[in-house]
Amino acid sequence: MKVTFLGTGTSQGVPVIACNCEVCLSADKRDNRLRTSILLETGDKTIVVDSGPDFRYQLLREKVKDLDAVLFTHEHKDHIAGLDDIRPFNYLLHKVIDVYATDRVQTALKREFYYIFAETRYHGLPQINLHTVTNGEAFKIGESTIVPFEVMHHLLPITGYRIGDFTYITDAKTISEQSFEKIKGTKILVLNALQKEAHISHFTLNEAIAFAEKVGAETTYLTHISHNLGKHADVEKELPANIRLAYDGLSVEC
Ligand SMILES: [Zn+2]
Ligand SMILES: [Zn+2]
Ligand SMILES: [Zn+2]
């Protein structure tokens, strides 16, 4: 499976509008972070996890020509805002996109994108098939088995996804032992790390490192990064060799 980081930034992205900090002004392309999402090419299916506000530009940048499914982690706007831009796959490829979300996230999608679910459908609406995700219950997309599990974003449950030796977690603050059981043994782990200072609903850099070391994956990539974390090149020097900062456009095989 090929994994491509479509975006690795927190909800405001990096640079932040009107910010003059050294990260936002950095000339290093790795300090430019669109909102967090990944592309999974499994061999028989093309899947994205979350479709944030930068979804259209991310798919153009990576020249994505096909899409089968969207997996949602949770309903915060930085993870769902771009769903409308699946429409080219509807009308160019004549595909209905499979959307996977928990009941609670489905309720939010029906509120935020009410027109997709309207009784009277006008021409050109996004076309989706909604599938219910229940944390702990594996499902298949093509040949791939997807294992969803719950992590906590302060009080909000978030869905993490494991596919074979790859595990993707964003927006976590705490992870139960029950979920750790689902994650352990993974070879490639993606984990959120917002900043160094404490935050009520996101792992700090040190909390992410501690959890990454507990899992002991071959490589952990950190994502959902704020401009407050510091410059990519500086932070990478502080990290253990098997824990790296992800950056937009990075691809890994697993
Ligand atoms: Zn987020
Ligand atoms: Zn800044
Ligand atoms: Zn969130």
Q: Is residue 42 part of a domain?
A: yes
Per-residue pLDDT at 119: 85
Q: What is the pLDDT of residue 122?
A: 79
Q: How far is the CA of 121 from the centre of ligand 1 (A)?
A: 31
Residue 120 pLDDT: 82
- pLDDT for 187 equals 98
Distance (angstroms) between ligand 3 centre and the Cα of 238 equals 26
Our count of domains for the chain comes to 1
Compute the distance from residue 204 Cα to the ligand 2 centre, in Å: 17
The pLDDT value given to residue 33: 98
Question: What separation in Å is there between the alpha carbon of 119 and the centre of ligand 3?
Answer: 30
> Read out DSSP for the chain?
-EEEEEE-B-TT-BSPTT--STTTT---GGG-BPBSEEEEE-SS-EEEE---TTHHHHHHHTT-----EEE-S---HHHHTTGGGGHHHHHHS--PEEEEE-HHHHHHHHHHTGGGG-SSPPTT---EEEEE--TT--EEETTEEEEEEEEEETTEEEEEEEETTEEE--S-SB--HHHHHHHTT-SEEEEE---SS--SSS--HHHHHHHHHHHT-SEEEEESB-GGG--HHHHHHHS-TTEEE--TT-EEE-
Which of 176, 166, 202 is closest to 71 using CA atoms? 166
Determine the residue type at 99. V
Pick from 142, 65, 133, 70: which is nearest to 105 by CA?
133
pLDDT of 153 reads: 95
Calculate how far, in angstroms, residue 91's C-alpha sits from the geometric centre of ligand 1.
29
Between the CA atoms of 72, 12, 171 and 78, what dihedral angle is there, to the nearest 10 degrees? -10
Q: What is the pLDDT of residue 202?
A: 97
Cβ contacts of residue 127 below 8 Å, gap of 6+? Answer: 90, 96, 97
Say if 143 falls within a structural domain: yes
Per-position pLDDT tens, the chain of length 254: 999 999 999 999 999 999 999 999 999 999 999 999 999 999 999 999 999 999 999 999 999 999 999 999 999 999 999 999 999 999 999 999 999 999 999 999 999 999 999 988 778 899 999 999 999 999 999 999 999 999 999 999 999 999 999 999 999 999 999 999 999 999 999 999 999 999 999 999 999 999 999 999 999 999 999 999 999 999 999 999 999 999 999 999 99
Tell me whether residue 254 is in a domain: no
Question: What is the domain extent for residue 207?
Answer: 2-249
- CA 45 to centroid of ligand 2, rounded, Å: 37
Q: How far is the CA of 227 from the centre of ligand 2 (A)?
A: 5
Domain assignment present for 145: yes
Distance 78 CA to ligand 1 centre (A): 5
CATH assignment of the domain containing 103: 3.60.15.10
pLDDT digits 0-9 by tens, 72-93: 999 999 999 999 999 999 999 9
216 C-alpha to ligand 1 centroid (Å): 24
Q: Which residue has the tokens 């996109």?
A: 97
Query: Whose structure tokens read 């494991």?
Result: 162
Percent of the chain at pLDDT above 70?
100
Q: pLDDT tens-digit profile of 141-162?
A: 999 999 999 999 999 999 999 9
